[in-house]
Chains A and B, each alone.
Chain A
Amino acid sequence: MNAPSLPNDYTAYPDADGRFGAFGGRYVPETLMPLVHELEAAYRAAKADPAFKGELDGYLKHYVGRPSPLYFAERLTRHYGGAKIYLKREELNHTGSHKINNCMGQILLAMRMGKTRIIAETGAGQHGVATATVCARFGLPCVVYMGAVDVERQKPNVFRMNLLGAEVRPVTAGSATLKDATNEALRDWVTNVEDTYYLIGSVVGMHPYPQMVRDFQSVIGTEVRQQILEAEGRLPDALVACVGGGSNAMGLFHPFLNDEAVRLYGVEAAGEGVATDRHAAAINGGRPGVLHGSLSYLLQDKEGQVTEAHSISAGLDYPGIGPEHSWLHDVGRATYLAATDQDSLDAFKLCAELEGILPAIESAHALARLDQVTNDVGKDGLVVLNLSGRGDKDVATVAAHLGRTI
């Protein structure tokens, strides 16, 4: 591959073909292509319609509870001994994570398009719960595909989805995790093209999903920009977020892409270590490939068979990553670090003990790399970390790893 050229305006992407540099695209079966074009046109129209934005903003304020606070984490700051650390409190949103921002946007779009049935994939269950929530709110039937392994390790979320009226279909194919749930959701979509809207939960999949999900999540970064200017009178030196598919990170990063003095850090799940074959770090341990509709960094074997991801965090347990992240990595705009299961467990406990906040085990991956990020920006630095979800759902997993029964 040629060295990618640096863009003048990072926010001008994707291009008309849904590309971020070489990444992205629309690698889908022909049956879906007309729907993908229809979705793109509908999204473009909605984005240009002030009534759509007004409606979405209303629900984000009164139903989701936005804006979420930007909180100065005084004791974490003291612990790391230098840069000021702020936490963007996405875990305080209704349903407990950033996922609802995107779900609210997409369900309003689905209804605008006249779709009457919603499907979704979920890993940790956070996106499934958020989807089930908006479906309940607007009275649409909802089917959530979830890997059988994830159903087992995220039982509380499965029950929450059921309480919200959604049908959770366990997927036993392949590794029975998020990648396989995504395959099954795509199979459902290709079978029910007339009435079904596929509500993808991250900045992955075929164009326009990576752009659309990023746009709906950009409310995070837009608020942070305003909040940090109010609190500190200047932009932060670094932003940090965990990355599976990468929606919470993209939502935080995007409004800052053209502020090149703001360093961007994504943290991938290193599982048992990037040097082992049990991790979920697509950029740190994969190479570009095609899965689920886009070209992006991907965990795969020599031939191109997709390999199984491994992470303590079901939400990061995915062999791919959003194409915009792949591009930001290749052009050097963002830095992708990794945190192991153990690093994340340690960070989970640290955040609980110092700040009184149980972070999602996903978000704990970002917390785990505060060591490097605070070091990079120095003593006078200013760091904003996206606390993308709350950790109540993870207490059983954490207990098991600590050798405790609850």
Chain B
Amino acid sequence: MSTSRIDARFAALKAEGRAAFVAYVMAGDPDAATAAAILAGLPGAGADLIELGFPFSDPMAEGPPIQRAALRALEKGMTLKGTLELVRGFREGDQTTPIVLMGYANLLVTWGFTAFARDAAEAGVDGLIVVDLPPEESGPLADALDAAGVSLIRLATPTTDDERMKVVVRRTSGFVYYVSVAGVTGVKEANAAAVAPHVARVRKASGLPVAVGFGIRTPERAAEIARVADAVVVGSALVDEIAEAVEMNEDVTRRVLSKADSLAKAVRSARVGQTTV
């Protein structure tokens, strides 16, 4: 069952006493073939989990880097169907690295929640983050994902108080994603000291590993967060590498994987034991 891929990965990392490095890339950025090569190379570059964005025309919670990534992918014809194809292709070579899709509700509404949950599970997707489906609106999707054995991963944020935290974690599985700053992706910088108590709060409420994302761009910052969280998500900084490599006519895959490698090393060398739940 696919949920177990996330649980197994976090259990193994707990045994190692280190945080996970989660790499975010956008499906189809800069094109489908390159995105497939990047995905295939990410585990080797040290990604413990992969978050794969599916492009949407109006990504209201994204900063400029991921907005532009979505635009590049859409211009090259990437779709939600194409995103599942990428996952399917990735699974031919990797049966253990969890893949979590991240995006916006309207494409799922169009597909139909039940059919999409089934198709995503069948393609090898382990979890789903839908930015604009808060607990109030995600009941039907949660039912569909439960039936298909795919984790619904909810977001907790600096504005989520203890009372609301109970609502947020209620139907969450796999892990909880803590949004480290009030804002859009890739603009403000996360602060490990400020994040730490919130991570503890989310862990206590959910009993699940806590991944921290939004605002982590450098190996130094990733290492700091890795000392207080169970997983560190980097997205905009990787996506920026794609944009720059395309612009400079460089080898996109190599450049992104090299950045992923430096971030992964920083997370691994942060080596902390107190991240256990």
Contact = CB atoms under 8 A, between A and B. Distances in A.
Interface in A184-199: 186-187, 190-194
A31 interface: yes
Interface string B49-84: 000000011111101000100000010000111000
B168 interface: yes
A269 to B, nearest CB: 20
Nearest to B214: A31
B160 A29 contact: no
Contact of A30 (B108, B109, B111, B157): B157
B110 A34 contact: no
Interface string B106-141: 111111000000000000000000011111110000
Nearest to A186: B60
Contacts of A174: 57-58
A34 B160 contact: yes
A303 B58 contact: no
Contacts of B158: 31
Contact of B58 (A28, A35, A194, A291): A291
B156 interface: yes
B133 A31 contact: no
Contacts of B109: 288-290, 295, 304
A34 B57 contact: no
A263 interface: no
Interface size class of B (residues with CB under 8 A): 35 or more
Contacts of A302: 110
Given A25-B137, A30-B134, A306-B57, A289 B160 contact: no
Contacts, number: 116
A303 B182 contact: no
Interface in B85-113: 104-111
A41 B131 CA distance: 24
Given A30-B157, A33-B164, A191-B187, A183 B60 contact: yes
A368 B110 CA distance: 34
Contact of B159 (A180, A193, A300): A193
A193 B184 contact: no
B216 interface: no
A187 B107 contact: no
Nearest to B61: A29
Contact of A289 (B110, B154, B182): B110
Contacts of B219: none
A300 B61 contact: no
Q: Which of A192, A289, A304 has the most CB of B within 10 A?
A: A304
Given A289-B106, A292-B60, A303-B110, A191 B179 contact: no
Contacts of B135: 33
Interface in A288-327: 288-293, 295, 298, 300, 302-307
B16 interface: no
A193 B182 contact: yes
Contacts of A300: 106, 110
Given A27-B132, A27-B137, A30-B160, 7 more contacts: A29-B131, A33-B164, A179-B58, A191-B182, A289-B109, A304-B108, A305-B56
9 contacts: A30-B160, A180-B58, A187-B184, A190-B183, A192-B182, A193-B159, A289-B106, A303-B81, A304-B108
Interface of B: 56-61, 63, 67, 74, 79-81, 104-111, 131-137, 154-161, 164, 168, 179, 182-184, 187-188
